[in-house]
Chain A
Amino acid sequence: QKEVEQNSGPLSVPEGAIASLNCTYSDRVSQSFFWYRQYSGKSPELIMSIYSNGDKEDGRFTAQLNKASQYVSLLIRDSQPSDSATYLCAVNENYGQNFVFGPGTRLSVLP
């Protein structure tokens, strides 16, 4: 069974620090990877996608992908209390038919 795993957390970091969120996946044929942020009681909102090995930066966010290690991560620089949320890693399977989500990592940024 294809799986996506994440540290459940909670992960607590002080304001201004770098938060590092990790995700591993089991399906070697997966081609696209996504990070979503979900505030309590709300729906997931897309942060960024990554398709190629290496780093992809968007503002304070950097996604890193290593397909050989089946590992994807999200770094949040200069963390703010408003970043406190659950971060979901999603992996595309079946060539776009559906996503497999990890259980999410809860991040708490302390003022």
Chain B
Amino acid sequence: DAGVTQSPTHLIKTRGQHVTLRCSPISGHKSVSWYQQVLGQGPQFIFQYYEKEERGRGNFPDRFSARQFPNYSSELNVNALLLGDSALYLCASRSDGTDTQYFGPGTRLTVL
């Protein structure tokens, strides 16, 4: 079975621009979470979605938004990019009845 997939792998943007990151969960997984990992730190929780509804939100500004589609894939959008948004963005999925999360390969975002 395919694991969690994310696209793109790498992305370079300039300050003020907007970015959309995409994630497809493991087949059968309805829950998708997004994390930001700055170099040298652990991942920080951004959002969790389940059945297209937001179930949790971390301490991130409103410039960050997300949504989940009927096929359980998800998008993370970041507006008005700042230099500090440069990070590895991780998507994780889990199946119903468990709390074990499996991570995708991540999207490396660089903001110049």
Report which A residues bind B (CB closer than 8 A): 4, 32, 34, 36, 42-46, 49, 88, 90, 92, 94, 96-104
A100-B103 contact in complex given A43-B90, A44-B90, A94-B56, C-beta closer than 8 Å: no
| Known pairs A43-B105, A94-B56, A99-B33 / 16 extra A-B pairs, C-beta < 8 Å | A34-B101, A43-B104, A44-B43, A46-B101, A46-B102, A96-B99, A97-B48, A97-B55, A98-B48, A99-B43, A99-B45, A99-B101, A101-B35, A101-B42, A103-B40, A103-B41
Q: Which of B43, B90, B99 contacts A92 (CB 8 A)?
A: B99
Q: Which of B42, B88, B90 contacts A102 (CB 8 A)?
A: B42
Q: How far is the CB of B91 from chain A (nearest CB, A)?
A: 9
Say whether B58 contacts A88, CB under 8 Å.
no
Q: Which residue of B lies closest to A95 (CB)?
A: B99
Chain A residues with CB under 8 Å of B99's CB are 32, 92, 96
Complex: how many Å from CA A47 to CA B28? 22
A34-B100 contact in complex given A88-B42, A88-B43, A101-B44, C-beta closer than 8 Å: yes
